Structure 1
Amino acid sequence: MKSTVRVQPKLWIGFAIWIGYVLAVLVVSKLAGVPYTALGDSGSTLFRGAGLSLIVGTVLLVITTTLLGWWRPAIFDSAVSTHRWPIIAPILMAALLVLNLVLTDWAAFDVAFLAASIVLLLVGFTEEITTRGLLLVALRSRLGEVWVWLISTLAFALMHYLNVFLGQGFLPTTGQVLFAFLGGTIFYILRRTTGSLIWAMLLHGFWDFSAFAIGYGTSAALGSITGTLYLVVGIFALVAVWWTFPRTDAEKLALQAGASRSGLSGPASRSSEAV
């Protein structure tokens, strides 16, 4: 059996969702009145400055995805990458995440900051479903997979310029945008090699959690090493991503078809050429 989406994917719908999410975060964050540079000062500033916008964004995205009927194509791929070895990049990123947590000054945490940090895990859902979920579905309805990766990853990176309007300087934000493009490529690889966006959501959410955690309290002497290693892993991902693009016509057709119709069996339904 097949389940058809309620609204046929179109490019403008994907970009409208992306713009809507960015505007929603901007409005809620502005109303909260907490500058981006002050997010890590306390549990209260972290929750008001970031947590509230993530909660609002989550609700809006759940409603939007349900009304469109895009849950399955947004979460699952109809065919996975023929080459699986690029998953090394997200595995290495997960290792750096663990290193961040090991180096975190947990003694400095109070209940409020820990609770607000946990809310940050929602970023894995909101930013992934917006860019590598709903926007990706819209892009696949018209474009080849190379363009799908490039545009969805650029959209993910560029949304971080929102931080300029929230009080962060342009130059440090630009650095953040460049790092986000590398991270977005890693998350895209994880989707293509596993056939599911869920793993990217989890890695993304816990990565941001660890990034805020290691910056709170007294930073460990080796704390800066994760940023350098992240850059190395990101550059590796930029090379490896080329091996995740469809190699056969059957795989290309499966991905495009998944944008408008998806099997109830989920990612296990693969083309015969996919391994």
Structure 2
Amino acid sequence: MSDSTLPAPLRVRPRVWIGLAIFLAYAVLVFVVQQLTGIPYTALGDNGGTLFLGAGLSLIIGAVFLAITTTLLGWWRPALFDRAHSVRWPIFVPVLMAVALVINLLSTDWGAYDGAFFAASVVLLLVGFTEEMATRGLLLVGLRSRLSEGWVWFLTSALFALMHLMNALSGQDLVSTLQQVGFAFLGGTIFYILRRTTGTLIWAMILHGFWDFSTFAVGHGTPAPTAGISSILYLVTGIAGLAVVAFVIRGARERTVAPEAVTAA
């Protein structure tokens, strides 16, 4: 599997099937760990214990798996950094999402928090690393070995969204899950735009982690009436992302395998 012709430290030539295999392995690993805890998705926000065992534990294990896998493949650099950023102006889309995040935090009933729930909530920040590395990181590297950047955006966003179908198997009703899938596709597009406009996945990891933290925070206790503004703003932001994503795709030269190598293969 190793290829000595690849520049160090890229030990393994990126391929579509490798990216898909890592994505599926991560999704299955997280699902199995969550099922073994016996805590349904709808009970995650009950207290610090259910939140940590039902979500935090799987994120810790998933993070270790992805870190080891990335190191063995030597894919850290292409997973975290683009060769060049796209045009900058579409960055207003993730900025709007950050505004929605702040509204969530300002609307949170912090008096309902205790130390255990806050500690478990902090662990949720790991979702920014795990889900971004699994989709717009390693999966993206694999897809870029053969597919055009338009397909890279669509497939990383679509598979990220479909991953949330697991919540229906963990106790969430189907209607809410399907709505979550649609919103996740919009979110995936926003995170992809942030990667392209900054040239790195790191900012998307940070925004993603704090976004999930804020959504669990505002759902705990009795939120302020302003919480509804965040949901509306998120939807508007996602639609804006779909309207401008073509501008960050256009002109991308991010293939992880040279076109002549793909042709020869």
Give the counterpart of 2:40 among 7, 15, 35.
35
Is 1:18 aligned to 2:23, yes or no? yes
Is 1:212 aligned to 2:216, yes or no? yes
Structure 1 residue ranges, 4+ long, deviating more than 2 angstroms after superposition: none
Match of 2:203 in 1: 199
Q: Distance in 2 between matches of 1:3 and 1:167?
A: 45
1:234-253, aligned counterparts within 5 Å? 234-247=238-251, 251-252=252-253
User: What is the letter of the counterpart of residue 20 of structure 2?
Assistant: F
Shift of 1:80: 1.1
Contact kept in structure 2, 1:5 and 1:260, CA below 8 Å: no
Match of 2:189 in 1: 185
- Structure 2: which 5+ residue stretches go unaligned? 1-6, 259-265
Match of 1:120 in 2: 124
Contact kept in structure 2, 1:18 and 1:135, CA below 8 Å: yes
Alignment partner of 1:41: what SS?
coil
User: What is the letter of the counterpart of residue 132 of structure 2?
Assistant: E
Shift of 1:79: 1.5
Shift of 1:171: 1.0
Is 1:44 aligned to 2:46, yes or no? no
Contact kept in structure 2, 1:4 and 1:260, CA below 8 Å: no
TM-score, normalization by structure 2: 0.93
Identity %: 62
1:235-257 C-alpha deviation (Å, 9 max, x unpaired): 0000111100132xxx42xx11x
Match of 1:143 in 2: 147
Q: Distance in 2 between matches of 1:143 and 1:26?
A: 28
Match of 1:96 in 2: 100
Q: Distance in 2 between matches of 1:186 and 1:228?
A: 15
Q: Distance in 1 between matches of 2:85 and 2:257?
A: 17
Contact kept in structure 1, 2:44 and 2:55, CA below 8 Å: yes
Match of 1:270 in 2: none
Alignment partner of 1:142: what SS?
coil
Q: Distance in 2 between matches of 1:80 and 1:226?
A: 28
Shift of 1:4: 4.5
Match of 1:225 in 2: 229
Q: Distance in 1 between matches of 2:257 and 2:120?
A: 38
Q: Distance in 2 between matches of 1:189 and 1:118?
A: 25
Match of 1:266 in 2: none
Where relative contact order (Cα < 8 A, 6+ residues apart) is larger, the structure is: 1
Is 1:171 aligned to 2:178, yes or no? no
TM-score, normalization by structure 1: 0.90
Q: Distance in 1 between matches of 2:15 and 2:158?
A: 18
- Equivalenced residue count is 252
Is 1:75 aligned to 2:86, yes or no? no
Q: Distance in 2 between matches of 1:184 and 1:89?
A: 12
Shift of 1:229: 1.2
1:41-85 C-alpha deviation (Å, 9 max, x unpaired): 00000001000000000000000000000000000001110x211
RMSD over equivalenced CA pairs, Å? 1.1
